[in-house]
Structure 1
């Protein structure tokens, strides 16, 4: 048996990952520990609320969620669910989590039998469970004892088989394939919880990568007048599909005011990474003139996506940079005039009106996204330079602040994977999972 332990910032995302597998028919909830009801009487809200309650008692611990996978040899595919629960209960007891609430899912989406355990490291009294070296010490001891007691294939005998916890990142949402609210929530948990942003347009530049969009509605709408916010699914051409969902209906409540409260701290966090982005652009354009299409390709190799905003006529009027390496998003004008849409048009070869140079985002009509910004946002906002056609609204880009992370990058970093299953690599300092 091979045990893999990961910690993360979001219990919602770990929970959603496993529940989505259940919805897809490739996983099943087989048991729960320290829950008030039997699993056949647990609805989604109850499953999650039991895990969330202790977390509210300790907000200082950022990596408060735990995701464990117990992997068995392919020859052990006949292990029954009740037997797997016995193994899970014994493992949780041996690593010191016997009193923690946890959910156990049996997955059928890999070539070997395995289960996932979803739990938290905050106790009922708000104290944090110390997980330093838990994989090397408690987990290894528990693993060896369980292998012997349950007559399982030893981890040492499975060296040729590679195990890995699948990254928990949101998938691009396709309308009709997954329940809309659940799919949008998964994207919101990932983006809002990990990236830094300072305006609604900047947030949308990331959400649209997943076919999700936040919108306020028209200025005469009830939602707009009441400072409401809606989230909805969009298609590849960024046309809205399906029914929009109110921000207040999501359990994380990513409302307009909530987002606005994130802007100042996000802006502060991303400032150290601004120069990296400017240097990457300057270096690509040094001593030569290339097209915006070529510039986008060069930057993309460094993990930087160039999101172009064009009018219905194909005229470029705005640029947003998404830096996946530093997890930051910058509106072009925030970096300086030389990095805005107008500045790039002067520094690059003429753009193709046909849209050839639009690498990151499809062409779409401008949309008004006047979210709540910082007080000084109006003075330094990037406004559409080209006058929009009739019926098209200007985009008011607010003060840019941080955001982003690799689209498919896992939210959790592996705290422990047995060394015999790791590829040889240079030693480096390991992060403290309890921070």
Structure 2
């Protein structure tokens, strides 16, 4: 089980976030501790907030007084409402909040149920409750709860948790927004790409594509991105989602800064030469597109080919997972352009590509790998099996991002929109 602890100065926003889940029939209140209860068991945000008012009025100098905790069992765990209540009560008691007013919400908006706990971290006298060594204490309590209730251990199943987050989008499975969010929020942190086309090539591995939209409003030019899920044929399926739903990293401004930063890197030449070497070897030892792709996949390189309705190749992009870089073919040189591959695979015109300097490739391997080349390549043995990514690769990608579970982007986006509306009203 994973516990996420958040703090803010916006009690109403936190309560509203959870209350909206109830209004959408994607949540319910499981437990009230030292809260003012109603006769019919229904609650508004203002009613819930009244129980916390004495604590906030007594608050001395704690800016982030609102506590928002989520307890997330493994998706395979089947937890009853009664167990959730016991777990929440024990967690809050052992963390020092057992005597505080708190509400336990159960959320069912994704494919696994989980609970959110809302409270305040100042006591009746307005003093802040100690959060010293909070993360360590929280992890200890989670392990105790796992043992007590027979839950799957999060420490033993970390890679499975990340695998769940970074699996390619399955538009038929539902909750497409969360599936897309789990991918687009983090890819720019781990891959280098210099254009929207290269970004789209990388996204296509996860059954996602994005399009730039722009217009004019009240005399001001605006631009943004829309994200679409793709089906098994690579076609758009379902309605698009605004980039703003997925946090700043997914927006056009952040991506353009990322493009610029990647262009300003000065150490790309060895990566480029090493990739061209692999492409050259694959071309010389294959006769068609599928064989070429398969050979590169063995080395941890994916190839995304774009064709028009007549089958003509007009674009080719290489995703090198060894160096976490994405390269449009023309950026590697005219000998790796889309025309070269079209002529070879369709007209049998063999390309004249010279193998890059072997010393450059060796230099790259010695400066960029912390392990022997043969051991490094074995990490990509699974790529031999299929054209699509296997679960093992998604697990490997997921483990790069251990802190991704500590953020609630949906709640952050909700709070951000509330603040914008408040500012507009003041204006």
* TM-score (normalizing by structure 2): 0.49
| Higher Rg | 2
Taking CA–CA contacts closer than 8 Å with sequence separation of 6 or more, which of the two structures ends up with the larger relative contact order? 1
